[in-house]
Amino acid sequence: MKVARQRILRQLLEEDEPRTQRELMAALASEGFEVTQATVSRDLADLGAIKTRNLSGRSAYSLGADIQKGGRSIDALKRRLAGSLQSVDASGDLVVVKTLPGHAQFVASAIDDIAVREVVGTVGGDDTILVVSRPGKGRKVKDVLRSLGEMGVSGD
């Protein structure tokens, strides 16, 4: 089953330093999941895994930029955010996110988790977050956050 396999895969990604998909394939096999490299590739995409470089410069798969906080998928994050987001507006490269009272810190860290490239950083208060995006990415970040929350909002 796919879900079970991907759960194992997560573990493997956290515990070991799988260097190739072939290696993961073997590891999965020894756990009873015999799949091809193609499936591993697709699983890794599902999990949002990336190939990082470890301390020695060698590359290995891991669960993304937020490894320390425990990996999560975009989907999982979507679920987390959906309930807390109130509105998202942008002014240039600054994106202002309103949340339920007290949720700002939580949401801000979630945004930090997910927006690896487009976001420079976030500042969270009690119910408001200021998201600083990379030059020209403000609109995009806004759109993405809105789509994650799937809520109606005021204009640009």
Q: Which residues here bind DNA, judged by CB under 7 A?
A: 1-2, 5, 19-22, 34-39, 41-45, 51, 59, 61
CB-CB neighbours of 146 under 10 Å: 19
Residues in the interface with a second copy (CB under 8 A) total 34
Residue 113 touches which of a second copy, DNA, none (Cβ within 5-8 Å per kind): none
**Among all chains, which residue has been given the structure tokens 């509105």?**
87
Question: Beta partners for 53?
Answer: 59
Q: Which is nearer to DNA, 51 or 69 (CB)?
A: 51
Residue 119 parent element (H or E) = strand 119-124
Which residues neighbour 60 within 8 Å (Cβ) at sequence distance 6 or greater?
17, 18, 19, 51, 52, 53, 54
| Pattern 13-52, a second copy, x by CB under 8 A | -xx-x---------------------------x--x-xxx
Q: Which is nearer to DNA, 2 or 69 (CB)?
A: 2
Of the candidates 78, 89, 72, 85, which has an alpha carbon nearest to the alpha carbon of residue 131? 89
Binding site for a second copy (CB under 8 A): 14-15, 17, 45, 48, 50-57, 59-60, 62, 64-65, 67-68, 74, 112, 114-121, 134-135, 140, 144
